[in-house]
Amino acid sequence: MEDAGARKMEVSARRFILRVVASWIVMMALDLLLNAGLFAKLWLEPSSFLLGPRELFQRLPLGYFAFLLQALAYVWLANRIGVRTWRQGTLFGLKLGAILNTAAVLLLRSGTTASWTMLLVGWLIGGTLLTIGACSMAGFSSERSEKKALVSAFLLLIGAVIVISVLQSTGLVPFRRMG
């Protein structure tokens, strides 16, 4: 029996999948902007906690698959609680992201050699921003349409690639060849 206060929205499987894909693309675009741009130096510094840049790069597909699973969960939760606008999605993503990523930081700090800086910047801030992006897109999809959400997500991804290319080519963020 469902709680009378629940605002669950029913959407077709097709619309749900499109929302997940749009949210996933936004997560990849934000990850690119954060980790190849804003936090790039953090990942290139020697660390006993992190893999080297070459191995990190080789494992990117695994990380992006993890983002797909997260996007699936975020869109399902956003749909379940009745997120209907990008603003509601943003607020929901901020709350959810802050809680989940604070827990992740504490777990990682309890059993790794990662510095507080790495954890707070790389996991708490970065992870929370990815959660916000995914949940915001889930709300945007509900508010506008899945087609507009996909177009917006792809434009953000293309913009992220352009921004990172410019930042790396001008030397404003570090770039490291993997060969």
Task: Give residue-wise pLDDT tens across range 129-156.
Answer: 999 999 999 999 999 999 999 999 999 9
- Domain membership of residue 74 (yes or no) is yes
Domain range for 92 is: 18-44+68-169
Residue 18 has pLDDT above 60, yes or no: yes
pLDDT bin (cut points 50, 70, 90) of residue 8 is: low
Please answer whether residues 129 and 93 qualify as being in contact, where contact means their C-beta atoms are separated by less than 8 angstroms.
Answer: no
Residue 164 has pLDDT above 70, yes or no: yes
Average pLDDT over residues 8-28: 92
| Averaged pLDDT of the chain | 90
- Domain membership of residue 49 (yes or no) is no
- Domain membership of residue 164 (yes or no) is yes
* Higher pLDDT among residues 2 and 32, named by residue: 32
pLDDT bin (cut points 50, 70, 90) of residue 7 is: low
- Domain membership of residue 151 (yes or no) is yes
**CB contact burial 104-120 (16+ within 10 A = b; e otherwise):** ebeebbeeeebeeebbb
Please answer whether residues 39 and 30 qualify as being in contact, where contact means their C-beta atoms are separated by less than 8 angstroms.
Answer: no
- Domain membership of residue 9 (yes or no) is no
Average pLDDT over residues 49-75: 91
pLDDT bin (cut points 50, 70, 90) of residue 2 is: very low
Q: Residue 3: what pLDDT?
A: 45
In total, how many domains does the chain have? 1
Angle at 100 between CA 96 and CA 105, to 5 degrees: 145
Amino acid symbol at 51: L
- Domain membership of residue 52 (yes or no) is no
Cα distance between residue 145 and residue 142, in whole Å: 6
- Domain membership of residue 3 (yes or no) is no
Cα distance between residue 120 and residue 98, in whole Å: 11
Average pLDDT over residues 60-75: 97
- Domain membership of residue 157 (yes or no) is yes
pTM: 0.88
Instruction: Please provide the DSSP assignment of 31-98 as one string.
Output: HHHIIIIITHHHHHS--SSSPPHHHHHHTHHHHHHHHHHHHHHHHHHHHHHT--SHHHHHHHHHHHHH
